[in-house]
Amino acid sequence: MGPAQPVASAHTPPGPQTLQYRFDGPQDAPVLVIGPSLGTTWHMWDRQIPELSQHWRVFRFDLPGHGGAPAHPATAVGELSDRLLATLDSLGVQRFGYAGCSIGGAIGADLALRHPHRVAALALVAASPRFGSADEFRQRGVIVRTNGLEPMARSAPEHWFTPGFAAAQAAIVEWAVQMVRTTDPGCYIAACEALAAFDIRSELGRIGVPTLVLVGAEDRITGPAEARTLVAGIPDARLALVPGASHLAPVEQPAAVTDLLLTHFSTSWQDTLAAIPVPGSGPALSAPVLPLAEIAPATAAPEAAAAGRRDPYDPGMRVRREVLGDAHVDQVMAGSDDFTGEFQELVTRYAWGETWTREGLDRRARSCVTLTALVTSGHLEGFAPHVRAALRNGLTPAEIKEVLLQTAVYCGIPAAGAAFAIAQSVIQEETTPRP
């Protein structure tokens, strides 16, 4: 998986607002930008470069902290998109085609939504309008913060490749494991946060650029179901299903992926801004697909609690879900009725919308205060979800232990002992990698 051909140019960014990149191909050719998956480097596209660089000037980039890039974490997909555009702006690249895998696909979709005049054609590889659940990615961050990247490295081959390929290609499997091991943990965690917050299901209809949605037939992370949801929602999208491939289809089936990208960008490239709203005339790469589920429209915001004042309910619910997790909040809200519903609204608006959203303390500090307050008051029935919240907010198990030792001195050993028992169980559950 070494470099496919001599590097035309490779550069490390001068600051935190740009990305490490490299060019391959003729300097006067149109630019094709290619984005990597989480935990990989630009080398995941090595086997596409010889052919793609005959037609385009291929621009590849590394995510922060990946592939030796400077470790400047980005916690939102939009922030990664902005850094990419800043890098391209510094090079004088205004219009480009874009292909990206997984989080690289999320960056491409974000560019097509926020900067449609920059994107000439789009390919989303192993992508999704929403990557699993926010809880899943936040727990992945907890595991990495506690155990380092070794659990992610060990599980990468089974998530990225089909079993047959992994068994037959020991060198590529080892290359994949080493890519993850050499990633900066803080940047990996930040990217997990970015994927946890990414959700464009209600915005797919605004992607106006011709789009190829490419997915491995055996991808268990962002598989054919997610691909069909993208195709159903994007007005000018075509589906390409790659047999014998899992999540990293460009590595596992390089020839098939290269051919599909060549066909798509050769036939769907839009050269003028005026062409953006016009459906592409290129041949379909698959039969039309039907949506698996109807994509819900964006919900209307609640009425303001007082004229001229922002209603804190929506930001409160957002923070409540980010801190406590979707599963916990869904369970609480499902259990509310006419008798308790208004109390849950009060909690969401004032505990979460008015207090947890304040800038005076960061979430780590608020978790320390909350854990201490729950031990002091003896309200341990709410302690477990706030231990999970503390882990999501960036506290390590060692730091939670220090908080509880401090409470033992000032709040009493029996209360702290009960809290230790609860915290021990939660930490073991949250920091143990799942199969």
Give the model's pLDDT for residue 2: 44
Phi-psi region at 179: left, alpha or beta (left = phi > 0; alpha = psi -120 to 50): alpha
Q: Is the pLDDT confidence value at 295 over 50?
A: no
Mean pLDDT on 29-46: 97
Write down the pTM of the prediction.
Answer: 0.79
- Can you give the length of the chain in residues? 435
> Would you state the pLDDT for residue 433?
84
Q: What pLDDT is recorded for position 307?
A: 52
The Cα 119–Cα 250 span in angstroms is 21
The average pLDDT across 119-136 equals: 94
pLDDT tens track for 66-77: 999 999 999 999
Q: Tell me the mean pLDDT in the region 306-332.
A: 85
Q: CB neighbours (10 Å) of residue 6?
A: 6
pLDDT tens digits, 146-165: 999 999 999 999 999 999 99
Q: Please report which confidence band the pLDDT of residue 296 belongs to, taking 50, 70 and 90 as the band edges.
A: very low
Strand 31-35 and strand 21-24: the pairing is unpaired
The predicted pLDDT at position 21 comes to: 96
Predicted pLDDT of residue 390: 94
Flag whether pLDDT at 113 surpasses 70: yes
The phi and psi torsions of 418 (rounded to 5 degrees) equal -65, -40
Residue 78 has pLDDT above 90, yes or no: yes
pLDDT, tens digit (0-9, with 9 covering 90-100), for 198-232: 999 999 999 999 999 999 999 999 999 999 999 99
Specify the pLDDT at position 15.
Answer: 74
| Average confidence (pLDDT) over 392-397 | 90
Query: Model confidence over 360-384: pLDDT tens digits?
Result: 999 999 999 999 999 999 999 999 9
Q: How many CB atoms lie within 10 A of CB 251?
A: 27
User: Bigger pLDDT: 274 or 44?
Assistant: 44
